[in-house]
Amino acid sequence: MVFFYFMEFTIYHNPKCRKSREALQLLEQKGKTVKTVKYLEQNFERETLREVLSKIGMNPSEIIRKNETLWKQEYAAKKLTEEEILKLLIKHPKLIERPIVIHSKSGVLARPIDNLVDFLERV
């Protein structure tokens, strides 16, 4: 008996974002099985976001969309801990940089798209 084992890719995706659409298109062009998570509609739970951050090797402060008006007006001037930023990202997922692609036990912030290209060569 032969078992076919494959690991799908998960993309945390915003369909309105050009970079996110490009990443999804690249994964599909490469023939990857992709699970799409529209994280603006399906908010992250704390442990899920922690796991994603661990897989991409980044802290919450490293995935903030610092050009977002909300960030600039409400939070940029504040001294926030990583835990406070994590809570903030859960509360306001539009502040999360995108797209994020996960495969097995690793992942990548796929912005710029070259990050995803490099990642696909390694997995």
Please give the positions annotated as active site: 17
Burial 91-106 (b: 16+ CB within 10 A, else e): ebbebbbbbbbbbeee
**Closest C-alpha among 39, 49, 52, 30 to residue 12:** 39
Query: What is the Cα–Cα distance from 90 to 87, expressed in whole angstroms?
Result: 5
Query: What is the Cα–Cα distance from 98 to 4, expressed in whole angstroms?
Result: 31
Residue 13 Cα to chain centre, angstroms: 7
